Structure 1
Amino acid sequence: MATKSSGFVLASALCFLSLLGFAYCADNLSVDGLVYCDSCRIQFMTRISEPLQGAKVKLECRDREGGTITLSSETETDEQGRYQIPVEGDHEEEVCQVVLVKSPRDDCSEISTDSHAKLSARISLTNNNGIAGPHRIPNPLGFLKTEPDAQCAEVLKELGLTPEGDLA
């Protein structure tokens, strides 16, 4: 009889502890991204794109209605061009995006002003979106090189593109 009681107490304790984990499962997320030097000025990564160490990026969330900034956090990339921005709370009702701030390289510091580039690093920062896990990974962000690399014509040809980035 004591064995059954001990087993019940142990099972109950395990169930309680597993539920306790859910109670402390706060809305803590992490935005994990990559910044690179766009060697061919085509606004996507190629085999000659280089990760940028020391690039500064900023995560901003804005209220959908008024556009008021509700969250702003800046960080710097590591030696692999990667960054990680911890996020507290749920930002389901906000528009959040990562933007480029500053490049560590003078020859690769231009920020594209194309409208599609501004939308490329939007990110959903909520647990109510079907994404499992705490990590949110936006599209890679690239600073444009001042002059395209000499290898770009070959790289673009391999991709079936013209030197202007159009389909061949």
Structure 2
Amino acid sequence: MAKTVQTAILFTTALCFFSLIGIVQCRDAHFFVEGQVYCDPCRAQFMTRLSEFMPGAKVRLECRANEGGQLTYSIEGVTDKSGTYSLPVEGEHEEDICEILLVKSGKPECSESGPKGWQREAARITLTVNSGIASEVRHANPLGFLTKEAKPECSEVFKELNMIPPEI
């Protein structure tokens, strides 16, 4: 009986110790920001059933100090064949505003960004261990480039959505 109690205490102590080590390592933050870039053939400025994910698009993660706006971290990446990127991020960025920005399209025929002042070509992302998110992976909202003109099939898409097509 005494042997069982000693084993249980030793096991509990070891478990607490290893949990503490995990917490300490967590302070040396390391994240991955993942997201997708798409082509918007309807110029809707959101994904529709005609949207396609874009390989070869270039994105940049920028973190700027909340106070003053100085650039504190930046890294670029390119989307794979499924239009997905994954950017490694070192360090804690709790006091920063971090965003994924569109840099360059992977398709010349779909390379416009939204009209100035209406659509922002960025997705905000939280990069701190104090966010309540247990995973080291952070998912950014999809970002899109527009074709120069909407495809003819887009009028049917807008009807399905019960929307008036945008006049861009």
TM value normalised by structure 1: 0.88
Residue 75 (structure 1) aligns with: 77
* Partner residue in 1 for 2:146: 144
| Aligned equivalent of 1:90 | 92
Cα offset for 1:86? 1.6
Provide the TM-score with structure 2 as the length reference.
Answer: 0.88
C-alpha distance 138-114 of structure 1, shift in aligned 2 (>3 A): farther
Q: CA RMSD in A?
A: 2.0
Task: Report the 3-state secondary structure (helix = DSSP H, G, I; strand = E; otherwise coil) of the residue aligned with 2:9.
Answer: helix
Give the equivalent residue in structure 2 for 1:99: 101
Q: How does 1:98-137 map to 2 (within 5 A)?
A: 98-118=100-120, 120-137=122-139
After TM superposition, the structure 1 stretch with the greater mean CA deviation from structure 2, 107-116 or 51-60, is 107-116
In structure 2, the CA distance between the partners of 1:2 and 1:108, relative to structure 1 (3 Å rule), is: same
Distance (Å, rounded) in 2 between the aligned partners of 1:83 and 1:30:
10
TM-aligned CA distance change 1:98 to 1:113, over 3 Å: farther
> Which stretches in structure 2 are left out of the alignment for 5+ residues?
none
Gaps of 5+ in 1: none
Matched with 1:13 is 14
Which one of 140, 158, 164 corresponds to residue 166 of structure 2?
164
Aligned residues between the structures: 166
Change (3 A) 1:162 1:128: same
C-alpha distance in structure 2 between counterparts of 1:7 and 1:65, whole Å: 50
Percent of pairs identical after alignment? Answer: 49
Task: Indicate the SS of the match to 2:114.
Answer: coil
Letter in 1 for 2:22: G
39-48 vs 64-73, greater mean Cα deviation: 64-73
Deviation of residue 131 (structure 1)? 3.5
